[in-house]
Structure 1
Amino acid sequence: MPKHSTVPGTGRKLALVVLGLAALITTMLCAFALPSLHSGPHHVPIGVTGAASTVGDFREAIDEDAWDVRVYETPAAVRSAVEDREVTGGIAVTEQRVDVYTATAGAPSATSAVTALGEKTAAQQTTDVSVHDLVSFTEDDPRGTGLTSALMPMIFGGIFPALILGSFFPGHPGLRTRIAGALLFSVVAGAAVAAVLQFATHSIAGGYGLTTLGVVLGMAAMSTTLLGLQARFGMAGFAFGSALMMLLGNPLSGLATGPHWLPDGWATLGQLLPPGASGSLLRANAFFDGADAGLPALTLAVWVAVGIALAFLADRRGRRSLPSRPESATATATADADA
């Protein structure tokens, strides 16, 4: 009877794979659970204006770990800061009333918290309070459902090209075709996603062209990164990249709440990953005319560069192995002719 032998080192390799997968799943669980358990305001930037004594009392009354208070000279300056995304909200205290300035489209979860602070301040001043939502979601989508639901199509827009193009154009000969296809797909799919959000669901109100550019850049960052990882490290690289985008980048994106509602370290990590940067860029372009869009756009551009660089490294490595194949084929043909 045939004997089945095990390749030496199989047990060690299997143990490493199992432990690696277990560590990955544990990390993903922490990424989902821990930020939610500790969600709330974390150094949320808020603008305040008023008499020096009033501002001083306001500073003493709030949690410094929750709020980053920035003092402005006039209510108009606070209003401009909210509209330009310098702060997530603002409170202007005058002798007549307390004005609360919010931007629901920029930081949905912070809006209610800023409003509560304004109401508390008005109660302490025994005056009226007026709430002004300077940048709100659209009338057709007042809760921003369309905006938050756009992230998953963008993530899958990065996964699908790497997976499907790899099947149709496999190996080293198809590498450049896969990269070109991923970039072309990002343009077409990005324009389609922006069109649905703008004209079908009416979830965003910004300029279509600017919004489209942001969505295209987000999809290109995810698709090129996954293609580069796949080309350089095989299916293991693709699996790692997909898990990074979906299981880590998605819950840490802060798209539904605003990044300041996550713990500081998690929020920073989320904004450095393509899903978080894509969500921030989409929000900035769709509701704030591109204000504060520079950092997420730069982050995504770096991911595109990393993905393409990995692909070129794989391409260079693959080309080095090509010359040996014709020589081998020639030698085989000569041997056949001599025989």
Structure 2
Amino acid sequence: MQSSLAKRTAGVVLGAALLQLLMITAFTWPAARTAPHDVPIVVAGPGAAATAQRLEQANPGAFDIEIRSGADDARAAITDREAYGAIVATPSGPRVLTASAASPTVAQRLTALAGKLAGERQGAPAAPAAPVQDVVAADPDDPRGSGLATLVLPLVMSSLAAAVLLTFAIPSPAWRAAGTLLFALVGGLGVAGVAYGWLSLVPGPYLLVAGVVAATVLAVTGGVAGLAAALGRPGLGLGAITFMLIGNPISGVTTAPEMLPEPWGAIGQLLPPGAAGTFMRSAVFFDGAGAGAPLAVLLGWAAVGFVLLGVGAVRANKREPAREREPVPA
């Protein structure tokens, strides 16, 4: 008995230690290695090719540079979410076009780079400030985008909690599916009221924000509830590890997916936290530009969850007749 308990204790401690290492690595490694990796930007104007070459030499691998003819083309690339910003060469020096709504971090780096280019051009030891135009600005009440970035984690956590509650409180997988749909509706309207109406983290409109939140809830709650229906309690753990422990640190919501170590930024966009952040920014700041891919990811996870809930419902229906045929004890 004592030997069995000792082995079980050692196993639990070892598992907890491995989980701790995984959590520390997942949350600290992306933050410690934050740097631009093929961030899409535009260089435009006279001498754009030379400017692009200087940027690449100074920051090898940091930017995926596209050359456009002028400032108007550069703005179009930003508003269409084809680029995070632009450096426009002018006779008086470089001018910076940013989109703080897409990534305040990238916007700050582009501004600093343009200042260095201006300093090199003028031979000045101290880089002068380059003129900056924020083409797609963050909400005035959340100029650094920090509020919007912090919205995703509690949204994912609360959706996970809803999946756990539905799994333990509702025995029928069919009614869990109905509860997921109802929670997505109520949660979408409620969170949108806070994010748009009260804290003003996003410019709205209200129903659009509610729709983005609802899609996120469907993906997380539906996905985890479906895993639980198919795998039992291990499904809840698998969903929590995948969506929160792994998905949140590599979501790129606080910076940009391209600021994370490769290939984790791209992988993060295939999970609900990363897709939710990108979908929110695209839908409410960029008139839907670039929203198709993250929406497809969220709906895909939701669809998988509901399919698994359907599998659970079929299994439950098959177990019922078997229970009815069991002999009644005398």
TM-score under structure 1 normalisation?
0.87
> Which residue does the alignment assign to 2:159?
158
Shift of 1:11: 8.7
8 Å contact 2:48–2:88 — kept in the other structure?
A: no
Q: Structure 1 16/315 Cα, relative in aligned 2: closer, same or farther at 3 Å? A: farther
Partner in structure 2 of residue 97 of structure 1: 93
State the match for 2:201 in structure 1.
203
Q: Structure 1 12/272 Cα, relative in aligned 2: closer, same or farther at 3 Å? A: farther
Could you tell me which runs of 5 or more consecutive residues in structure 1 were left unpaired when the two chains were aligned.
none
**8 Å Cα contact 2:223/2:239 also seen in 1:** yes
State the 1:156 CA deviation.
2.4
SS in 1 for 2:88: strand
Match of 1:123 in 2: 119
Query: Is the partner of 2:287 in helix, strand or coil?
Result: coil
Q: 1:42-82: per-residue Cα shift (whole Å, max 9, x none)?
A: 11111001325533543453323111111111111011111
Instruction: Identify which of 73, 76, 94 aligns with 1:77.
Output: 73
2: CA distance between counterparts of 1:60 and 1:277?
29
Q: Residue 58 of structure 1 corresponds to which residue in structure 2?
A: 54
Aligned length: 324
Displacement after TM superposition at 1:145 (Å): 3.0
Distance in 1 between the 2:254 and 2:221 partners? 23
Equivalent of residue 37 in structure 1, options 32, 56, 61:
32
CA distance in 2, matches of 1:224, 1:281: 18
2: CA distance, partners of 1:131 / 1:66? 21
Query: Cα deviation per residue 1:156-195 (whole Å; 9 max; x = unaligned)?
Result: 231122222233323xxx2111111011101111121112
> Is the alpha carbon distance of 1:11 and 1:325 closer, same or farther for their aligned partners in structure 2, counting shifts above 3 Å?
farther
1:5 Cα shift? 10
Q: Is the 8 A contact 1:96 1:128 kept in 2?
A: no
1:157–1:186 CA contact under 8 A, matched in 2 = no
CA distance in 1, matches of 2:247, 2:271: 6
The answer for unaligned runs of 5 or more in structure 2 is: 123-127
Flag the structure with larger Rg: 1
| Partner-residue secondary structure (3-state), 1:45 | strand
Deviation at residue 151 of structure 1 after TM alignment = 1.1
Q: Label 1:323 to 1:220 Cα distance change in 2 as closer, same or farther (>3 A).
A: same
* Root-mean-square deviation over aligned CA pairs: 2.4
CA distance in 2 between partners of 1:326 and 1:32 (Å): 50
Q: Which of 28, 41, 50 in structure 2 is aligned with 1:46?
A: 41
1:133 Cα offset (Å): 0.9
* Native 8 Å contact 1:97 1:128 kept in 2: no
- Residue aligning to 1:175: 173
1:70 and 1:15 map into 2 onto residues whose CA distance is 56
Separation in 2, partners of 1:56, 1:216: 41
8 A contact 1:231–1:311 mirrored in 2: yes
Tell me the distance in 1 between the aligned counterparts of 2:7 and 2:317: 33
1: distance between equivalents of 2:106 and 2:67? 18
Question: 1:1-339 alignment to 2 at 5 Å?
Answer: 21-50=16-45, 51=47, 54-55=50-51, 57-126=53-122, 129-170=130-171, 174-328=172-326, 331-332=327-328
